[in-house]
Amino acid sequence: MMRSLVIGTAALCLACVASGCSRSPRVTFYTLEPGAGVEAPVSQRGVEAVAVGPAVAVGPVTLPEVVDRPQLVVRVAANRVEILESHRWAEPLKSEIPRLIAQELGRLLGSDRVSSYRQHAGTGADYRVLLDIVALESEPGQAVTVEAAWTIRRSAGVTRTTGHSLVREKVAGAGYDALVAACSRALAGVSADLARAIRAEDAAGH
């Protein structure tokens, strides 16, 4: 009788453990979306082959430690954030942000020679973009704010341009998909500032 009771108890414990595992929260992974916010110049629309433009290397990018993690971090109060264990970035933001910026710059500048720091060491690039993300604030159902300080270095010579971008994008809908989309649009706004600075630098250099 005692042996049967022990076996039954063990089986019940195993069943509870298995049931608990099956109810573990499902993790959702997110990526930033290029082309989410800023249209390419009219002269580039409908062009199948991208024109050869300035060579640009984007990165490295620095981030505040609070958001430099796999989980999405959202602002829930003036002095409180929440780290979402079941909502995560598919890859580190230090990799994804420079790649997104590079894709946006390639589209805006009409150049097929724009790459992120991890894709290209910058050898032979006309410009190197250094980006310091000062703040990346995400408020569910409200807005995403990106504040960035940046430097554009010309490879040939010591010429450099510095600037500051502050972009706030409203979240168009409920849920974290809409929040991530707003983050993509905000970073696209930073890319637009960089593209204008690179065009001005390129025109001055010629």
Question: pLDDT digits over 64-96, tens only?
Answer: 999 999 999 999 998 999 999 999 999 999 999
Q: Is the pTM of this model over 0.85?
A: no
Question: Is-contact 132 62, C-beta < 8 A?
Answer: yes
Q: 55: which 2 tokens?
A: 């060579």
Do residues 137 and 160 lie in contact, with contact meaning Cβ atoms separated by under 8 Å? no
Taking only the tens place, the pLDDT of each residue in 92-133 is 999 999 999 999 999 999 999 999 976 555 567 899 999 999
Cα–Cα distance measured from residue 142 to residue 89, given in angstroms and rounded to the nearest whole number: 20
